[in-house]
Amino acid sequence: MQIDDYQVTAAVRSGRLVLDELHTMYFEESGDPLGRPVVYLHGGPGAGMEPSLRRLHDPQAYRLVMFDQRGCGKSTPVGELRNNTTQHLVDDIERLREHLGIDRWIVSGGSWGSTLALAYAQAHPRRCEALVLRGIWLGSIPEMQWFEGGLRYFYPDVWEQTVGHLRADQSADWFESLNDRILDADPAVSGPAAVLKSRYEWLSCSANPSAEDLAAIDAELTPEYCIPYQRIGAHYRRHHFFLAPNQLLDGVPAIRHIQGFIVNGRLDVVCPPVTAFELKKAWPEAQLELVPQAGHFSTEPGIQSALLRVMESLK
């Protein structure tokens, strides 16, 4: 099966689910309503659904569920930080499963979505048939230190565009100051800061971006998109992603009986493969594939092919 064999199908159902007195979730379903259920968890924190990933799921075999996490995309209120923690999101996934009348499902997620998938599975292992994880992020301090200082070794041009000639040992304070601006209530302050932070992330995600990719990034990263995205990201960063130290690796024994698939770009510098390797060591039953010549984006051909093979094997 090739990636072009499945098209990006339209949603067959969409809806809104009231979560509490403040938040309402937007969700969509595609594929066969009687197919094997899959829920996909998007990245961020603060991004939104990725409709392009529908093409990795045979629409005649899968019932694919996607949703925008609290404060993201079409969920309301957009950019809201109150009642917005990892535990809230874990509870939201379970509430959505119950709302849709699904007993057990495959849980899939990329980047921050892999973090959330692990947190959900460890809280509700009996509801998970399999985990499909891409671009592993565990929310640890070393991962954040790398993101805020180590990327300059591979993307010195992006680093200089973002922080100028700042030394790596000064970067943590600089990013903290940037997050202050992102969280400012004045869009004239938060907008430029949010776009700058988003551009730093996105330009570091692709192992070999084309001129068209770069143009698309600049076109998409508007203040209107970046402010809520980065507000939520800064909120989670400041609270250490609402995770205890080493929580997700320590929790692996609760999910070792679940089928696990780990896909990571060999050249992913945003979520370096060492983290995927650490997860594999804690979870030896899981299958790990390090994709050569691939970075972080789920749209990279090697990543898409690896994920498609996993989903074909689970049909």
Longest dimension (CA), the chain: 56
- The DSSP letter of residue 277 is H
Cα separation of 19 and 75, whole Å?
10
Cα separations (Å) of 256 from 10, 93, 123, 133, 275? Answer: 34, 21, 13, 14, 17
Q: In which residue are the tokens 């508007």 written?
A: 222
Which of the residues 111, 171, 190, 198 is marked catalytic?
111
φ, ψ for residue 225 (rounded to 5)?
Answer: -80, -45
| CB distance 271 to 295 below 8 Å | no
| CB distance 41 to 27 below 8 Å | no
Task: Tell me the sheet residues that pair with 110.
Answer: 134
| Overall size of the chain counted in residues | 315
Which of the residues 58, 68, 92, 268 is marked catalytic?
268
Which of the residues 23, 58, 296, 298 is marked catalytic?
296
| CB distance 275 to 301 below 8 Å | no
| Residue 263: both structure tokens together | 């896909």
Q: In which residue are the tokens 């048939």 written?
A: 129
- Which residue, 168, 169, 221, is CA-closest to 197? 221
Instruction: State the helix-helix crossing angle for 187-203 and 156-163, rounded to 10 degrees.
Output: 170
Residue 111 among the catalytic residues: yes
Residue 184 among the catalytic residues: no
Cα separation of 145 and 128, whole Å?
32
| CB distance 261 to 286 below 8 Å | yes
Cα separation of 166 and 159, whole Å?
9
Residue 296 among the catalytic residues: yes
- Active-site positions? 111, 268, 296
